[in-house]
A = this chain, B = another copy of it.
Amino acid sequence: MELDLSVDAAALTATLVDAPSVSGDEGPLADAIERALGQLPHLRVERFGNSVVARTGLGRPERVVLAGHIDTVPIAGNVPSHVTGERLYGCGTSDMKSGVAVQLRLAGEVPEPARDVTYVFYDCEEIEAARNGLGQLSRAQPGLLAGDFAVLMEPSGNEIEGGCQGTMRAEVTATGQRAHSARSWMGRNAIHAAGGILDVLRSYQPREPEVDGLRYHEGLNAVGISGGVAGNVIPDRCVVTVNYRFAPDRDIAAAEAHLREVFDQWDVAIVDAAPSARPGLDQGPAASFATAVGGSPRAKLGWTDVARFAELGIPAVNYGPGISEIAHTRDEYVEIPKIGQCEARLRHWLTTP
């Protein structure tokens, strides 16, 4: 497969969709990207596993990062792509090969941007966090990701989605005392006791704080419950797994403190956590970007790789032509006019001093 960066972004999107790259099998697509960009004299291209990083080196006072993952969820009978009206259908059209096409177009067509640009194409975003290509790059070669601001080209309908909420999972455990269920009063039923945990969850009022001008919406929910020893035994243990989605005015430590306070009557064990990221749209290069592309910035409620840039101290936003609501569905599509619109806006931003 060879990529022709001179075709329009919608046609390039179709080419990318028709080159399957399910997580773990991104090799051929990464090869094609590396070859196409390697021919461009204004870019320095480096390969890291199945991730590709291409950088301008114009000595500009500011450097921005445009990042996108090249993998998709498993194909569901929706490859090759097809066009119906103004929609391009297929696996990855929205999430996020249309964004990758825009990256490639800008890399090929804007040889002398007003700000230096680092284009990052990475693998394994749709699977377990440990394999995420951006995460691996940030740990192994953080210098490759250096910059003053980053745009993740995740589907956002060409509206800025700022920051992201953090996520924490914890196991909240109710305990009791075993007994034979024929003499249940000899024990204490831990599942019944877990009703108290569910009471807390049912009456919980999530915060909706405004952070850097954007409104977030937290959530605290049971995502799992498990208890029981045998059909004739009063159980002595019931574990409720809760998921706390926290706004970016809280870091992981504050989120944990909150959970421990809310569930102070029970044993709480933190299972995993991913940090939030502030939108930071009110200052610096992020503010310039917001001005350049316009629209109505909104808060990103889900967790995204934006937080990985935040951990490196780089403000970042999501901005891409896809539609997040239909990502991962069999009927995934992208609105074709949005792809060109995205390219035009970013080109305007990159070329405006």
Interface residues of A (CB under 8 A from B): 165, 167, 169, 180-185, 189, 191-192, 194-195, 198-199, 201-202, 217, 219, 221-235, 238, 240-241, 243, 245, 271-272, 301-303
Closest 10 CB pairs of A and B: A224-B228, A195-B198, A182-B302, A191-B222, A184-B219, A181-B243, A225-B227, A182-B301, A184-B221, A191-B225
Whole-angstrom distance between the Cβ of A89 and the nearest chain B Cβ: 22
Nearest CB to that of A271 among chain B residues? B231
Contacts of A201 in B (CB 8 A): 189, 191-192, 195
Closest Cβ of chain B to A262, distance in Å, is: 14
**Is there an interface contact between B234 and A223, defined as CB atoms closer than 8 Å?**
yes
Q: Which residues of B contact A226 (CB under 8 A)?
A: 225-226, 228
A225 touches B228 (CB 8 A): yes
Collect the chain B residues with CB atoms within 8 Å of residue A241's CB: 228, 231
Check if A302 sits within 8 Å of B222, measured CB to CB: no
Q: A231 to chain B: which residues have CB within 8 Å? A: 169, 223-224, 241, 243, 271-272
Tell me the dominant secondary structure on chain A's binding face: mixed
CA distance A231 to B183 in the complex (A): 36
Bound: A201/B230 CA distance, A? 18
User: Which residues of chain B are within 8 angstroms of A303 by Cβ–Cβ distance?
Assistant: 182
**Once the chains are docked, how many angstroms separate the CA of A302 from the CA of B181?**
8
A182 and B202 contacting across the interface, CB-CB below 8 Å:
no
| Bound: A231/B245 CA distance, A | 12
Q: How far is the CA of A124 from the CA of B243 in the complex (A)?
A: 46
Query: How long is the Cα–Cα vector from A194 to B238 in the complex, in angstroms?
Result: 14
Which B-chain residue is minimally distant from A221 (CB atoms)?
Answer: B184
Q: Nearest chain B CB to A78's CB is how many angstroms away? A: 20
A–B Cβ pairs within 8 angstroms, 18 of them: A167-B181, A167-B182, A183-B301, A183-B302, A185-B217, A189-B201, A189-B221, A192-B198, A192-B221, A195-B198, A195-B202, A224-B228, A225-B225, A226-B226, A226-B228, A228-B241, A231-B241, A231-B271
B181 with A165: CB separation less than 8 A: no
Chain B residues lying within 8 Å of A235, measured Cβ to Cβ, are 222-224
Copies in the complex: 2
Besides the known contacts A181-B223, A185-B219, A225-B227, 16 further A-B residue pairs in the complex with CB atoms under 8 A apart: A165-B182, A167-B182, A181-B221, A181-B243, A189-B222, A191-B201, A191-B240, A192-B198, A192-B201, A192-B222, A194-B225, A222-B227, A225-B226, A225-B228, A228-B241, A231-B272
Q: Report the nearest B residue to A241, measured CB to CB.
A: B228
Whether the Cβ atoms of A202 and B198 lie closer than 8 Å is no
Docked pose: A219 CA to B232 CA in angstroms: 11
Question: What is the chain B residue whose CB lies nearest that of A184?
Answer: B219
Q: Looking across the interface, which residue of chain B has its beta carbon closest to that of A244?
A: B181
Q: A182: which B residues are within 8 A, CB to CB?
A: 165, 167, 219, 245, 301-303
Which residues of B are found within 8 Å of A181, using beta-carbon distances?
A: 167, 219, 221, 223, 243, 245
Contacts of A202 in B (CB 8 A): 192, 195
CA distance A321 to B183 in the complex (A): 21
Of the listed residues A169, A182, A183, the one surrounded by the most CB atoms of chain B closer than 10 A to its CB is: A182
A224 neighbours in B (Cβ, 8 Å): 191, 227-228, 231, 235
With a CB–CB cut-off of 8 A, which chain B residues contact A189?
201, 221-222
Closest chain-B Cβ to A151's Cβ sits at a distance in Å of 21
